[in-house]
Amino acid sequence: MAKNSYQKPSQQTQDEAMRIARGTQRPAQTKEQTKLIAQGIQKGIDLYKKQQKEKARDLSRRLKKVSRQQEQPAESDDNEVEENIVYRQHWLPWLLLVLTWLGLGIYFLVRAIR
């Protein structure tokens, strides 16, 4: 059984194509010319939709392929790897905190002496 290679465009696509064609219509343009322009726009919209569906299918295939590849090594690798996360902090904020406390201490000490 052969597949139908041409599908009738949706009413929404037809309406959108006609709206665009009317928006770009020239003053001396006939209705037939506007219809032909609308059909061309409609074919362009259908082609765009077809390309987007193909891109989505291709992306889906790639994602499935990558997920399968990631699952496969994880299953064959039975050794548990311990991750040792070490958080290191920079010394500058601590130095500034100590200097601030020292400065406040000296300020209050000098103020108390006066």
23: domain range? Answer: 11-77
Size (the chain), residues: 114
Q: Does residue 50 lie within any of the structural domains?
A: yes
Q: Does residue 102 lie within any of the structural domains?
A: no
Give, for all 114 residues of the chain, the pLDDT tens digit. 455 556 777 888 888 888 888 888 888 888 888 888 888 989 998 999 999 999 999 999 999 999 888 887 655 555 677 888 888 888 999 999 999 999 999 999 999 988
Q: Does residue 66 lie within any of the structural domains?
A: yes
DSSP letter for each residue of 34-46? HHHHHHHHHHHHH
Report how far Cα 89 is from the mean position of its chain's Cα atoms. Answer: 33
In this prediction, residue 72 carries a pLDDT of: 75
In this prediction, residue 5 carries a pLDDT of: 59
Q: Does residue 62 lie within any of the structural domains?
A: yes
In this prediction, residue 58 carries a pLDDT of: 94
Q: How many domains does the chain have?
A: 1
The CA distance from 36 to 42, in Å, is 10
Q: Does residue 6 lie within any of the structural domains?
A: no
In this prediction, residue 96 carries a pLDDT of: 95
The CA distance from 2 to 5, in Å, is 9
Q: Does residue 108 lie within any of the structural domains?
A: no
In this prediction, residue 89 carries a pLDDT of: 85
Q: Does residue 73 lie within any of the structural domains?
A: yes
The CA distance from 81 to 105, in Å, is 49
Q: Does residue 104 lie within any of the structural domains?
A: no
34: which residues sit within 8 A by CB, 6+ positions away? Answer: 18, 21, 22, 25
